[in-house]
Amino acid sequence: MSAYNPVFRENKNQKSINQRNKSMSKGVYIAITLAVLAFGGNWYWNKLNKRARVERAWQEISGPDTIQKHQEHSKTFNTAQVIKVTPKIYCAIGYALANSIMIVGTDGVVIVDVTESVTSGKEVLKAFKKITKKPIKAIIYTHNHADHTFGASAFIEDPKKMPEIWAHNDIIRQFQRVFYTHQAFMKRAMRQFGALLTNTINAGIGSHLRLNSHDSSIGIVYPNKLFMGKERDIMVAGLKLKLVHIPGETADQIGVWVEDQKTFLCADDIYKAFPNLYAIRGTPARDLLDWTSSIDTMIALEPEHLVPSHTRPMKGGKYIKDLLTTYRDAIQFIHDQTIRLTNKGYHPDEIATLIKLPKKMASLSYLQQFYGTVEWSAKGVYNTYMGWFSGDATELFPLTPDEEATRMAKLVGGANVLAAQAKDASKKGDHQWALQLSSYALRVDPDDVLAKDVKVKSLMSLGRRQISANGRNYYFTSAMEELGEVNNEVGDEQRAMFIQNVPILNLFNMLRVKFIPESCDHLYLTVLFVFKDTNQFIRVQVRNAIVLIHDKPSKTYDIKVQTTESIWRQVLSSRFSALSSMASGELSVEGGMLKFKEFMGCFEAS
Protein backbone atom coordinates (compact mmCIF):
# COMPACT_ATOMS: atom_id res chain seq x y z
CA MET A 1 0.00 0.00 0.00
CA SER A 2 1.30 3.39 -0.93
CA ALA A 3 2.37 5.60 1.88
CA TYR A 4 0.31 8.29 0.25
CA ASN A 5 -3.30 7.32 -0.26
CA PRO A 6 -5.34 10.43 -1.10
CA VAL A 7 -8.64 8.51 -1.20
CA PHE A 8 -8.03 7.03 2.25
CA ARG A 9 -6.99 10.44 3.58
CA GLU A 10 -10.12 12.09 2.18
CA ASN A 11 -12.30 9.44 3.77
CA LYS A 12 -10.49 9.85 7.04
CA ASN A 13 -10.96 13.63 6.90
CA GLN A 14 -14.63 13.20 5.99
CA LYS A 15 -15.09 10.89 8.95
CA SER A 16 -13.52 13.53 11.20
CA ILE A 17 -15.76 16.22 9.72
CA ASN A 18 -18.84 14.02 10.14
CA GLN A 19 -17.95 13.38 13.76
CA ARG A 20 -17.37 17.07 14.33
CA ASN A 21 -20.67 17.95 12.60
CA LYS A 22 -22.46 15.31 14.61
CA SER A 23 -20.94 16.72 17.78
CA MET A 24 -21.87 20.25 16.74
CA SER A 25 -25.41 19.17 15.82
CA LYS A 26 -25.75 17.48 19.16
CA GLY A 27 -24.50 20.65 20.82
CA VAL A 28 -26.92 22.80 18.84
CA TYR A 29 -29.76 20.40 19.64
CA ILE A 30 -28.93 20.52 23.32
CA ALA A 31 -28.68 24.32 23.20
CA ILE A 32 -32.03 24.63 21.40
CA THR A 33 -33.62 22.14 23.78
CA LEU A 34 -32.31 24.04 26.78
CA ALA A 35 -33.50 27.32 25.26
CA VAL A 36 -36.97 25.87 24.63
CA LEU A 37 -37.10 24.43 28.13
CA ALA A 38 -35.89 27.72 29.56
CA PHE A 39 -38.51 29.63 27.60
CA GLY A 40 -41.23 27.13 28.43
CA GLY A 41 -40.14 26.98 32.03
CA ASN A 42 -40.04 30.75 32.26
CA TRP A 43 -43.50 30.98 30.62
CA TYR A 44 -44.88 28.30 32.93
CA TRP A 45 -43.26 29.90 35.98
CA ASN A 46 -44.69 33.30 35.02
CA LYS A 47 -48.08 31.70 34.54
CA LEU A 48 -47.92 30.00 37.93
CA ASN A 49 -46.60 33.18 39.51
CA LYS A 50 -49.38 35.23 37.94
CA ARG A 51 -52.00 32.70 39.04
CA ALA A 52 -50.56 32.73 42.56
CA ARG A 53 -50.73 36.50 42.63
CA VAL A 54 -54.37 36.41 41.53
CA GLU A 55 -55.24 33.84 44.19
CA ARG A 56 -53.32 35.77 46.82
CA ALA A 57 -55.08 38.98 45.83
CA TRP A 58 -58.47 37.30 46.30
CA GLN A 59 -57.44 35.93 49.68
CA GLU A 60 -56.05 39.21 50.97
CA ILE A 61 -58.87 41.59 50.01
CA SER A 62 -60.80 42.89 52.94
CA GLY A 63 -64.01 44.69 53.80
CA PRO A 64 -67.68 43.85 53.24
CA ASP A 65 -68.72 41.89 50.16
CA THR A 66 -71.99 42.66 48.36
CA ILE A 67 -71.99 39.40 46.42
CA GLN A 68 -75.22 38.09 47.99
CA LYS A 69 -77.12 41.22 47.01
CA HIS A 70 -75.86 40.89 43.44
CA GLN A 71 -76.79 37.20 43.31
CA GLU A 72 -80.29 37.99 44.53
CA HIS A 73 -80.63 40.80 41.97
CA SER A 74 -79.51 38.40 39.22
CA LYS A 75 -82.70 36.39 39.69
CA THR A 76 -84.46 39.24 37.88
CA PHE A 77 -82.90 38.29 34.55
CA ASN A 78 -80.52 35.32 34.80
CA THR A 79 -82.88 32.77 33.24
CA ALA A 80 -83.37 32.93 29.48
CA GLN A 81 -87.10 32.93 28.86
CA VAL A 82 -89.89 34.51 26.85
CA ILE A 83 -92.50 36.23 29.01
CA LYS A 84 -96.02 36.63 27.68
CA VAL A 85 -97.02 40.20 28.54
CA THR A 86 -100.33 40.29 26.67
CA PRO A 87 -101.85 38.07 23.95
CA LYS A 88 -99.90 40.11 21.37
CA ILE A 89 -96.70 41.07 23.21
CA TYR A 90 -93.80 38.83 24.25
CA CYS A 91 -90.56 39.81 25.99
CA ALA A 92 -87.36 37.74 25.64
CA ILE A 93 -85.24 38.25 28.74
CA GLY A 94 -81.96 36.65 29.83
CA TYR A 95 -80.61 35.87 26.36
CA ALA A 96 -78.37 38.93 26.27
CA LEU A 97 -77.78 42.17 28.12
CA ALA A 98 -80.97 43.76 26.77
CA ASN A 99 -84.43 42.37 26.18
CA SER A 100 -85.94 41.83 22.75
CA ILE A 101 -89.68 42.31 22.41
CA MET A 102 -92.07 40.82 19.84
CA ILE A 103 -95.44 42.33 18.95
CA VAL A 104 -97.64 39.91 16.99
CA GLY A 105 -99.83 41.35 14.23
CA THR A 106 -102.30 39.84 11.80
CA ASP A 107 -99.85 39.02 9.01
CA GLY A 108 -96.48 39.43 10.68
CA VAL A 109 -94.56 40.56 13.73
CA VAL A 110 -92.65 43.62 14.87
CA ILE A 111 -89.38 43.18 16.77
CA VAL A 112 -88.38 45.91 19.22
CA ASP A 113 -84.62 45.86 19.93
CA VAL A 114 -82.36 43.11 18.61
CA THR A 115 -79.70 42.44 21.32
CA GLU A 116 -75.95 43.11 21.01
CA SER A 117 -74.82 40.24 18.79
CA VAL A 118 -75.96 38.05 15.93
CA THR A 119 -75.47 34.99 18.15
CA SER A 120 -77.86 36.10 20.87
CA GLY A 121 -80.23 37.54 18.25
CA LYS A 122 -80.54 34.13 16.59
CA GLU A 123 -81.28 32.52 19.94
CA VAL A 124 -84.05 35.03 20.60
CA LEU A 125 -85.54 34.59 17.12
CA LYS A 126 -85.55 30.82 17.57
CA ALA A 127 -87.50 31.25 20.81
CA PHE A 128 -89.95 33.66 19.16
CA LYS A 129 -90.52 31.26 16.26
CA LYS A 130 -91.84 28.69 18.75
CA ILE A 131 -94.67 31.14 19.45
CA THR A 132 -95.44 32.21 15.88
CA LYS A 133 -94.03 31.54 12.42
CA LYS A 134 -95.28 34.88 11.10
CA PRO A 135 -92.64 36.85 9.19
CA ILE A 136 -90.86 39.90 10.61
CA LYS A 137 -92.46 42.94 8.99
CA ALA A 138 -90.64 45.61 11.01
CA ILE A 139 -87.83 46.21 13.48
CA ILE A 140 -87.79 49.14 15.89
CA TYR A 141 -84.61 50.42 17.51
CA THR A 142 -85.45 52.18 20.75
CA HIS A 143 -82.02 53.86 20.65
CA ASN A 144 -78.47 53.57 19.36
CA HIS A 145 -76.80 51.47 22.08
CA ALA A 146 -75.02 48.32 20.91
CA ASP A 147 -77.11 45.98 23.07
CA HIS A 148 -80.24 47.18 21.22
CA THR A 149 -78.94 47.33 17.64
CA PHE A 150 -75.82 45.24 16.92
CA GLY A 151 -77.69 41.92 16.51
CA ALA A 152 -80.00 43.20 13.76
CA SER A 153 -78.87 40.95 10.90
CA ALA A 154 -80.10 37.90 12.85
CA PHE A 155 -83.66 39.20 12.34
CA ILE A 156 -83.32 39.85 8.59
CA GLU A 157 -85.10 36.79 7.18
CA ASP A 158 -84.78 37.79 3.52
CA PRO A 159 -82.11 40.38 2.60
CA LYS A 160 -83.88 40.92 -0.73
CA LYS A 161 -87.07 41.87 1.07
CA MET A 162 -85.98 44.05 3.96
CA PRO A 163 -88.37 44.80 6.79
CA GLU A 164 -89.11 48.36 7.82
CA ILE A 165 -86.46 49.41 10.35
CA TRP A 166 -87.66 52.34 12.45
CA ALA A 167 -85.69 54.73 14.66
CA HIS A 168 -85.57 58.37 15.64
CA ASN A 169 -83.76 60.61 13.18
CA ASP A 170 -81.12 61.47 15.80
CA ILE A 171 -79.86 57.86 15.87
CA ILE A 172 -77.58 58.54 12.89
CA ARG A 173 -75.75 61.31 14.75
CA GLN A 174 -75.54 59.17 17.88
CA PHE A 175 -74.07 56.22 15.96
CA GLN A 176 -71.34 58.46 14.56
CA ARG A 177 -70.52 59.81 18.02
CA VAL A 178 -69.99 56.25 19.26
CA PHE A 179 -67.91 55.35 16.21
CA TYR A 180 -65.60 58.33 16.78
CA THR A 181 -64.64 57.07 20.23
CA HIS A 182 -65.10 53.32 19.73
CA GLN A 183 -61.58 52.37 20.87
CA ALA A 184 -61.74 54.23 24.18
CA PHE A 185 -65.44 53.49 24.58
CA MET A 186 -65.09 49.73 24.09
CA LYS A 187 -62.26 49.51 26.63
CA ARG A 188 -64.34 51.19 29.28
CA ALA A 189 -67.50 49.29 28.31
CA MET A 190 -65.67 45.97 28.72
CA ARG A 191 -64.71 47.06 32.23
CA GLN A 192 -68.14 48.37 33.18
CA PHE A 193 -69.98 45.25 32.04
CA GLY A 194 -67.33 42.80 33.25
CA ALA A 195 -67.21 41.21 29.80
CA LEU A 196 -63.59 40.06 30.26
CA LEU A 197 -64.06 38.53 33.72
CA THR A 198 -64.63 34.83 34.32
CA ASN A 199 -66.57 35.41 37.53
CA THR A 200 -68.96 38.21 36.54
CA ILE A 201 -72.18 37.99 38.56
CA ASN A 202 -74.22 40.28 36.34
CA ALA A 203 -74.11 43.56 34.44
CA GLY A 204 -76.58 45.41 36.66
CA ILE A 205 -79.50 45.42 34.23
CA GLY A 206 -78.88 42.10 32.49
CA SER A 207 -77.00 38.87 32.84
CA HIS A 208 -73.99 39.72 30.67
CA LEU A 209 -72.81 41.59 27.60
CA ARG A 210 -72.12 39.25 24.68
CA LEU A 211 -69.70 41.33 22.67
CA ASN A 212 -66.35 39.78 23.50
CA SER A 213 -66.67 36.06 22.81
CA HIS A 214 -65.44 34.61 19.52
CA ASP A 215 -68.92 33.46 18.50
CA SER A 216 -70.61 36.81 19.11
CA SER A 217 -70.38 38.67 15.81
CA ILE A 218 -72.07 42.00 15.23
CA GLY A 219 -74.57 42.70 12.49
CA ILE A 220 -75.50 46.37 12.31
CA VAL A 221 -78.26 47.21 9.84
CA TYR A 222 -79.01 50.91 9.46
CA PRO A 223 -82.64 52.04 9.79
CA ASN A 224 -84.56 52.72 6.59
CA LYS A 225 -87.43 54.55 8.32
CA LEU A 226 -86.65 57.63 10.43
CA PHE A 227 -88.95 60.08 12.12
CA MET A 228 -88.50 63.50 13.69
CA GLY A 229 -90.46 65.26 16.36
CA LYS A 230 -92.33 63.95 19.38
CA GLU A 231 -94.54 61.19 17.94
CA ARG A 232 -95.16 59.10 14.83
CA ASP A 233 -98.11 56.77 14.20
CA ILE A 234 -97.27 53.76 12.05
CA MET A 235 -99.31 50.86 10.72
CA VAL A 236 -97.37 47.64 10.13
CA ALA A 237 -98.29 43.93 10.24
CA GLY A 238 -101.86 45.01 10.94
CA LEU A 239 -100.71 46.77 14.10
CA LYS A 240 -101.36 50.37 15.01
CA LEU A 241 -98.33 51.59 16.91
CA LYS A 242 -97.27 54.99 18.22
CA LEU A 243 -93.58 55.77 18.33
CA VAL A 244 -92.89 58.30 21.09
CA HIS A 245 -89.66 60.26 21.51
CA ILE A 246 -88.65 59.80 25.16
CA PRO A 247 -85.10 61.20 25.60
CA GLY A 248 -83.42 60.16 28.82
CA GLU A 249 -80.83 57.39 28.71
CA THR A 250 -80.04 58.72 25.22
CA ALA A 251 -81.13 61.73 23.19
CA ASP A 252 -82.48 59.55 20.35
CA GLN A 253 -84.52 57.19 22.54
CA ILE A 254 -88.07 56.23 21.59
CA GLY A 255 -90.80 54.19 23.27
CA VAL A 256 -93.64 52.25 21.66
CA TRP A 257 -97.26 52.67 22.71
CA VAL A 258 -99.52 49.72 21.82
CA GLU A 259 -102.86 51.30 22.64
CA ASP A 260 -105.14 48.29 22.17
CA GLN A 261 -102.96 46.36 24.63
CA LYS A 262 -102.60 49.32 27.04
CA THR A 263 -98.86 48.59 26.94
CA PHE A 264 -95.92 50.96 26.77
CA LEU A 265 -92.44 49.78 25.81
CA CYS A 266 -90.29 52.25 27.77
CA ALA A 267 -86.81 51.35 26.44
CA ASP A 268 -84.05 52.29 28.93
CA ASP A 269 -85.85 55.05 30.82
CA ILE A 270 -86.96 52.59 33.52
CA TYR A 271 -85.14 49.64 35.14
CA LYS A 272 -85.54 47.67 38.31
CA ALA A 273 -82.48 49.58 39.52
CA PHE A 274 -81.40 53.17 40.04
CA PRO A 275 -80.92 54.64 36.54
CA ASN A 276 -77.56 55.25 34.95
CA LEU A 277 -77.83 59.03 34.92
CA TYR A 278 -74.15 59.01 34.00
CA ALA A 279 -72.36 55.94 32.59
CA ILE A 280 -68.74 55.34 33.61
CA ARG A 281 -68.07 53.63 30.28
CA GLY A 282 -68.11 57.15 28.82
CA THR A 283 -71.20 59.02 27.63
CA PRO A 284 -72.34 62.61 27.36
CA ALA A 285 -74.03 63.74 30.57
CA ARG A 286 -77.72 62.92 30.33
CA ASP A 287 -80.36 65.62 30.53
CA LEU A 288 -82.29 64.77 33.68
CA LEU A 289 -85.13 67.20 33.02
CA ASP A 290 -85.68 65.59 29.61
CA TRP A 291 -85.71 62.24 31.38
CA THR A 292 -88.35 63.29 33.93
CA SER A 293 -90.45 64.87 31.17
CA SER A 294 -90.33 61.57 29.25
CA ILE A 295 -91.60 59.68 32.29
CA ASP A 296 -94.39 62.26 32.65
CA THR A 297 -95.38 61.34 29.08
CA MET A 298 -95.60 57.68 30.11
CA ILE A 299 -97.71 58.46 33.16
CA ALA A 300 -100.16 60.42 31.02
CA LEU A 301 -100.75 57.35 28.82
CA GLU A 302 -101.93 55.34 31.87
CA PRO A 303 -100.44 52.00 30.77
CA GLU A 304 -101.56 48.73 32.32
CA HIS A 305 -98.35 47.04 31.21
CA LEU A 306 -94.83 48.50 31.17
CA VAL A 307 -92.11 46.65 29.26
CA PRO A 308 -88.54 47.92 29.77
CA SER A 309 -85.69 46.94 27.48
CA HIS A 310 -83.88 45.67 30.60
CA THR A 311 -85.27 43.77 33.61
CA ARG A 312 -88.77 42.31 33.75
CA PRO A 313 -92.13 43.62 32.50
CA MET A 314 -94.51 45.18 35.03
CA LYS A 315 -98.29 45.18 35.19
CA GLY A 316 -101.08 46.94 37.06
CA GLY A 317 -102.11 50.52 36.32
CA LYS A 318 -101.79 51.84 39.87
CA TYR A 319 -98.52 50.02 40.57
CA ILE A 320 -97.00 51.36 37.33
CA LYS A 321 -98.20 54.90 37.99
CA ASP A 322 -96.75 54.88 41.51
CA LEU A 323 -93.46 53.40 40.29
CA LEU A 324 -93.12 55.91 37.44
CA THR A 325 -93.95 58.81 39.74
CA THR A 326 -91.36 57.85 42.35
CA TYR A 327 -88.76 57.01 39.71
CA ARG A 328 -89.05 60.39 38.01
CA ASP A 329 -89.07 62.16 41.37
CA ALA A 330 -85.81 60.44 42.35
CA ILE A 331 -84.23 61.69 39.12
CA GLN A 332 -85.49 65.22 39.69
CA PHE A 333 -84.23 65.09 43.28
CA ILE A 334 -80.67 64.41 42.06
CA HIS A 335 -80.94 67.24 39.56
CA ASP A 336 -82.35 69.83 41.95
CA GLN A 337 -80.06 69.08 44.88
CA THR A 338 -76.95 69.08 42.71
CA ILE A 339 -77.83 72.54 41.43
CA ARG A 340 -78.58 73.74 44.98
CA LEU A 341 -75.16 72.63 46.23
CA THR A 342 -73.45 73.95 43.10
CA ASN A 343 -74.87 77.38 43.82
CA LYS A 344 -73.53 77.12 47.38
CA GLY A 345 -70.02 76.75 45.97
CA TYR A 346 -69.33 73.08 46.66
CA HIS A 347 -66.82 71.13 44.57
CA PRO A 348 -68.42 68.38 42.42
CA ASP A 349 -66.61 65.68 44.41
CA GLU A 350 -68.06 67.15 47.62
CA ILE A 351 -71.54 67.33 46.11
CA ALA A 352 -71.30 63.65 45.17
CA THR A 353 -70.74 62.68 48.81
CA LEU A 354 -73.37 65.03 50.24
CA ILE A 355 -76.44 64.01 48.22
CA LYS A 356 -78.42 61.05 49.58
CA LEU A 357 -81.78 59.78 48.40
CA PRO A 358 -84.60 60.33 50.94
CA LYS A 359 -85.08 57.21 53.09
CA LYS A 360 -88.42 56.30 51.53
CA MET A 361 -86.96 56.35 48.01
CA ALA A 362 -83.75 54.63 49.06
CA SER A 363 -85.72 51.69 50.47
CA LEU A 364 -87.62 50.91 47.25
CA SER A 365 -86.56 47.78 45.35
CA TYR A 366 -86.56 49.51 41.97
CA LEU A 367 -84.27 52.34 43.17
CA GLN A 368 -81.47 50.19 44.55
CA GLN A 369 -78.15 51.31 43.09
CA PHE A 370 -77.37 48.08 41.23
CA TYR A 371 -76.64 50.01 38.03
CA GLY A 372 -76.24 53.78 38.33
CA THR A 373 -75.21 55.56 41.53
CA VAL A 374 -76.22 58.82 43.17
CA GLU A 375 -72.58 59.95 43.33
CA TRP A 376 -71.86 59.52 39.60
CA SER A 377 -75.23 61.04 38.74
CA ALA A 378 -74.54 64.20 40.72
CA LYS A 379 -71.20 64.66 38.94
CA GLY A 380 -73.01 64.21 35.61
CA VAL A 381 -75.49 66.94 36.49
CA TYR A 382 -72.67 69.26 37.55
CA ASN A 383 -70.90 68.66 34.24
CA THR A 384 -74.11 69.34 32.28
CA TYR A 385 -74.42 72.81 33.76
CA MET A 386 -70.86 73.80 34.65
CA GLY A 387 -68.54 71.66 32.51
CA TRP A 388 -65.20 70.18 33.61
CA PHE A 389 -63.99 73.17 35.64
CA SER A 390 -64.99 73.24 39.32
CA GLY A 391 -64.09 76.88 39.79
CA ASP A 392 -60.87 76.15 41.71
CA ALA A 393 -58.00 78.00 39.99
CA THR A 394 -55.63 75.07 40.65
CA GLU A 395 -57.52 73.16 37.96
CA LEU A 396 -56.98 75.70 35.18
CA PHE A 397 -53.55 74.40 34.13
CA PRO A 398 -52.89 71.40 36.37
CA LEU A 399 -49.87 69.11 36.37
CA THR A 400 -50.23 65.97 34.30
CA PRO A 401 -50.74 62.76 36.34
CA ASP A 402 -47.13 61.72 35.66
CA GLU A 403 -45.75 65.11 36.72
CA GLU A 404 -47.83 65.10 39.89
CA ALA A 405 -46.74 61.54 40.74
CA THR A 406 -43.06 62.41 40.22
CA ARG A 407 -43.33 65.41 42.52
CA MET A 408 -45.25 63.43 45.14
CA ALA A 409 -42.51 60.78 45.13
CA LYS A 410 -39.84 63.46 45.48
CA LEU A 411 -41.80 65.07 48.31
CA VAL A 412 -41.92 61.89 50.43
CA GLY A 413 -38.50 60.52 49.53
CA GLY A 414 -39.09 58.22 46.58
CA ALA A 415 -41.60 55.93 44.89
CA ASN A 416 -40.67 53.12 47.31
CA VAL A 417 -41.85 55.30 50.21
CA LEU A 418 -45.15 55.91 48.41
CA ALA A 419 -45.54 52.16 47.94
CA ALA A 420 -44.79 51.51 51.62
CA GLN A 421 -47.33 54.13 52.70
CA ALA A 422 -49.87 52.63 50.31
CA LYS A 423 -49.34 49.23 51.94
CA ASP A 424 -49.84 50.77 55.38
CA ALA A 425 -53.08 52.44 54.25
CA SER A 426 -54.27 49.13 52.79
CA LYS A 427 -53.64 47.31 56.10
CA LYS A 428 -55.78 49.96 57.83
CA GLY A 429 -58.61 49.40 55.36
CA ASP A 430 -58.17 52.82 53.73
CA HIS A 431 -58.36 51.34 50.25
CA GLN A 432 -59.08 54.52 48.31
CA TRP A 433 -55.99 56.24 49.73
CA ALA A 434 -53.97 53.07 49.17
CA LEU A 435 -55.15 53.03 45.55
CA GLN A 436 -54.14 56.64 44.98
CA LEU A 437 -50.71 56.25 46.61
CA SER A 438 -49.91 52.99 44.79
CA SER A 439 -51.01 54.57 41.49
CA TYR A 440 -48.58 57.45 42.10
CA ALA A 441 -45.78 54.97 42.78
CA LEU A 442 -46.49 52.97 39.62
CA ARG A 443 -46.45 56.08 37.46
CA VAL A 444 -42.91 56.73 38.69
CA ASP A 445 -41.81 53.09 38.66
CA PRO A 446 -44.13 50.78 36.66
CA ASP A 447 -42.13 47.71 37.82
CA ASP A 448 -42.63 48.32 41.56
CA VAL A 449 -43.94 44.93 42.71
CA LEU A 450 -45.15 46.15 46.10
CA ALA A 451 -47.03 49.08 44.58
CA LYS A 452 -48.68 46.79 42.04
CA ASP A 453 -49.73 44.29 44.70
CA VAL A 454 -51.22 47.07 46.82
CA LYS A 455 -53.02 48.57 43.84
CA VAL A 456 -54.54 45.23 42.87
CA LYS A 457 -55.63 44.54 46.44
CA SER A 458 -57.12 48.05 46.73
CA LEU A 459 -59.03 47.72 43.45
CA MET A 460 -60.46 44.36 44.46
CA SER A 461 -61.34 45.50 47.97
CA LEU A 462 -63.15 48.53 46.59
CA GLY A 463 -64.86 46.37 43.99
CA ARG A 464 -66.30 43.85 46.42
CA ARG A 465 -68.06 46.54 48.46
CA GLN A 466 -69.87 48.04 45.44
CA ILE A 467 -73.65 47.74 45.16
CA SER A 468 -73.42 48.96 41.56
CA ALA A 469 -72.49 46.11 39.23
CA ASN A 470 -70.86 48.74 37.02
CA GLY A 471 -68.52 49.77 39.82
CA ARG A 472 -67.83 46.18 40.91
CA ASN A 473 -67.01 45.04 37.38
CA TYR A 474 -64.89 48.11 36.64
CA TYR A 475 -62.73 47.69 39.74
CA PHE A 476 -62.27 43.93 39.25
CA THR A 477 -61.45 44.26 35.55
CA SER A 478 -58.93 47.02 36.30
CA ALA A 479 -57.29 44.72 38.87
CA MET A 480 -57.04 41.86 36.36
CA GLU A 481 -55.54 44.25 33.81
CA GLU A 482 -52.86 45.22 36.34
CA LEU A 483 -52.05 41.53 36.82
CA GLY A 484 -51.99 40.89 33.07
CA GLU A 485 -54.85 38.42 33.35
CA VAL A 486 -57.02 40.16 30.76
CA ASN A 487 -56.21 42.08 27.59
CA ASN A 488 -58.52 45.02 27.04
CA GLU A 489 -57.04 46.15 23.74
CA VAL A 490 -59.23 46.02 20.64
CA GLY A 491 -58.02 42.92 18.78
CA ASP A 492 -57.61 42.42 15.04
CA GLU A 493 -60.76 40.29 14.87
CA GLN A 494 -62.92 42.90 16.62
CA ARG A 495 -61.34 45.66 14.53
CA ALA A 496 -62.04 43.83 11.27
CA MET A 497 -65.60 43.07 12.39
CA PHE A 498 -66.16 46.73 13.14
CA ILE A 499 -64.79 47.83 9.75
CA GLN A 500 -66.97 45.32 7.92
CA ASN A 501 -70.17 46.46 9.65
CA VAL A 502 -69.92 50.25 9.77
CA PRO A 503 -71.36 52.13 6.75
CA ILE A 504 -68.64 53.35 4.43
CA LEU A 505 -69.38 57.07 4.96
CA ASN A 506 -69.08 56.60 8.72
CA LEU A 507 -65.68 54.96 8.24
CA PHE A 508 -64.51 57.97 6.26
CA ASN A 509 -65.89 60.35 8.88
CA MET A 510 -63.67 58.57 11.41
CA LEU A 511 -60.61 59.74 9.46
CA ARG A 512 -61.21 63.15 11.04
CA VAL A 513 -60.20 61.78 14.45
CA LYS A 514 -57.42 59.56 13.07
CA PHE A 515 -55.34 62.36 11.50
CA ILE A 516 -51.77 62.77 12.83
CA PRO A 517 -50.93 66.51 12.84
CA GLU A 518 -47.47 66.02 14.39
CA SER A 519 -46.14 64.67 11.10
CA CYS A 520 -48.71 65.84 8.55
CA ASP A 521 -49.66 69.43 9.38
CA HIS A 522 -47.97 70.47 6.11
CA LEU A 523 -50.35 68.43 3.97
CA TYR A 524 -52.90 70.19 1.74
CA LEU A 525 -54.55 67.59 -0.44
CA THR A 526 -57.91 66.42 -1.82
CA VAL A 527 -58.53 62.76 -2.57
CA LEU A 528 -61.64 61.61 -4.44
CA PHE A 529 -62.78 58.04 -3.80
CA VAL A 530 -65.04 56.42 -6.39
CA PHE A 531 -66.74 53.18 -5.38
CA LYS A 532 -67.72 51.40 -8.56
CA ASP A 533 -70.03 48.84 -6.97
CA THR A 534 -72.28 51.38 -5.20
CA ASN A 535 -71.70 54.40 -7.46
CA GLN A 536 -70.80 56.42 -4.37
CA PHE A 537 -68.35 59.29 -4.28
CA ILE A 538 -66.49 60.43 -1.16
CA ARG A 539 -64.08 63.35 -1.16
CA VAL A 540 -61.47 63.69 1.58
CA GLN A 541 -59.95 67.13 1.95
CA VAL A 542 -56.95 67.80 4.20
CA ARG A 543 -56.18 71.39 5.15
CA ASN A 544 -54.87 73.22 8.22
CA ALA A 545 -54.28 69.87 9.97
CA ILE A 546 -57.97 68.93 9.82
CA VAL A 547 -59.93 66.54 7.61
CA LEU A 548 -63.18 67.37 5.81
CA ILE A 549 -65.45 64.67 4.38
CA HIS A 550 -67.83 65.32 1.48
CA ASP A 551 -70.17 62.70 0.00
CA LYS A 552 -70.65 64.32 -3.40
CA PRO A 553 -68.57 64.03 -6.59
CA SER A 554 -66.19 66.81 -7.57
CA LYS A 555 -64.09 67.73 -10.57
CA THR A 556 -61.44 69.25 -8.34
CA TYR A 557 -59.05 66.79 -6.68
CA ASP A 558 -55.35 65.91 -6.45
CA ILE A 559 -55.73 62.12 -6.33
CA LYS A 560 -58.48 59.85 -7.57
CA VAL A 561 -58.94 56.36 -6.14
CA GLN A 562 -61.25 53.85 -7.82
CA THR A 563 -62.22 50.61 -6.12
CA THR A 564 -65.18 48.84 -4.49
CA GLU A 565 -66.50 49.13 -0.95
CA SER A 566 -65.54 45.55 -0.10
CA ILE A 567 -61.96 46.06 -1.34
CA TRP A 568 -61.61 49.31 0.58
CA ARG A 569 -62.78 47.63 3.78
CA GLN A 570 -60.09 45.00 3.23
CA VAL A 571 -57.53 47.77 2.72
CA LEU A 572 -58.52 49.33 6.05
CA SER A 573 -58.26 45.93 7.74
CA SER A 574 -54.89 44.94 6.29
CA ARG A 575 -52.00 46.73 4.59
CA PHE A 576 -51.22 43.47 2.77
CA SER A 577 -54.69 43.64 1.19
CA ALA A 578 -53.88 47.14 -0.02
CA LEU A 579 -50.75 45.94 -1.82
CA SER A 580 -52.45 42.89 -3.33
CA SER A 581 -55.47 44.97 -4.41
CA MET A 582 -53.22 47.44 -6.21
CA ALA A 583 -51.28 44.63 -7.85
CA SER A 584 -54.47 42.93 -9.08
CA GLY A 585 -56.00 46.16 -10.34
CA GLU A 586 -58.92 46.08 -7.91
CA LEU A 587 -57.75 49.45 -6.59
CA SER A 588 -56.41 52.10 -8.94
CA VAL A 589 -54.78 55.43 -8.07
CA GLU A 590 -54.50 58.45 -10.35
CA GLY A 591 -52.33 61.40 -9.37
CA GLY A 592 -49.26 59.73 -7.95
CA MET A 593 -48.78 56.64 -5.81
CA LEU A 594 -46.17 58.29 -3.59
CA LYS A 595 -48.51 61.16 -2.85
CA PHE A 596 -51.33 58.73 -2.04
CA LYS A 597 -49.00 56.73 0.19
CA GLU A 598 -48.09 59.91 2.06
CA PHE A 599 -51.78 60.69 2.47
CA MET A 600 -52.54 57.23 3.90
CA GLY A 601 -49.58 57.52 6.27
CA CYS A 602 -51.20 60.53 7.93
CA PHE A 603 -53.89 58.43 9.63
CA GLU A 604 -53.67 56.08 12.58
CA ALA A 605 -54.91 52.53 12.06
CA SER A 606 -58.67 52.19 12.53
Residue 385 near residue 405 (C-beta atoms within 8 A): no
**Does residue 120 register a pLDDT over 50?**
yes
CATH 3.40.50.300 fits 503-600, yes or no: no
- At residue 315, the pLDDT reads 98
What b/e string do you get for 141-173 counting C-beta neighbours within 10 Å, with b at 16 or more?
A: bbbbbbbbbbbbbbbbeeeeeebbbbbbebbbe
Inform me whether the pLDDT recorded for 46 exceeds 70.
no
Domain boundaries in the chain?
1-60, 71-345+353-373, 503-600
Convert the pLDDT of each residue in 579-604 to its tens digit.
566 667 889 999 999 999 999 999 99
- Tens digits of per-residue pLDDT, 198-214? 888 998 999 888 765 55
pLDDT, greater one: 282 or 51: 282
**What is the reported pLDDT for 549?**
97
Mean pLDDT of the chain: 90
As a whole number, mean pLDDT of residues 249-253 equals: 97
Residues 533-562 have a mean pLDDT of: 95
Helix H or strand E segment including 160: none
Res 50 pLDDT > 90: no
Average pLDDT over residues 151-172: 97
* Model confidence pLDDT, tens digit, residues 1-18: 333 233 333 344 444 545
Cα–Cα distance between 552 and 345 in angstroms, integer? 51
Q: Which amino acid is at 524?
A: Y
Q: What digits encode the pLDDT tens for the residues 469-505?
A: 999 999 999 999 999 999 888 777 778 888 888 899 9
Least confident of 82-96, 210-224, 320-334: 210-224
Instruction: Inform me whether the pLDDT recorded for 571 exceeds 60.
Output: yes
- How much is the pLDDT for 2? 35
For residue 220, give Cα distances in angstroms to 161, 265, 568.
17, 22, 18
Over range 538-557, report the average pLDDT: 95
Q: Which residue has the higher pLDDT, 53 or 106?
A: 106
C-beta separation of 459 from 479 below 8 A = yes
pLDDT tens per residue, range 390-447? 999 999 999 999 999 999 999 999 999 999 999 999 999 999 999 999 999 999 999 9
Where is average pLDDT lowest: 38-52, 79-93, 136-150, 510-524? 38-52
Task: Specify the pLDDT at position 217.
Answer: 84
Each residue's pLDDT tens digit, 325-342: 999 999 999 999 999 999
- The answer to whether 61 and 277 are in contact (CB under 8 A) is no
Q: What is the CATH class of 71-345+353-373? A: alpha beta
Pure H helices in 87-181: 118-129, 146-149, 171-180
Q: Is 226 exposed, middle or buried (0-12, 13-18, 19+ CB in 10 A)?
A: middle
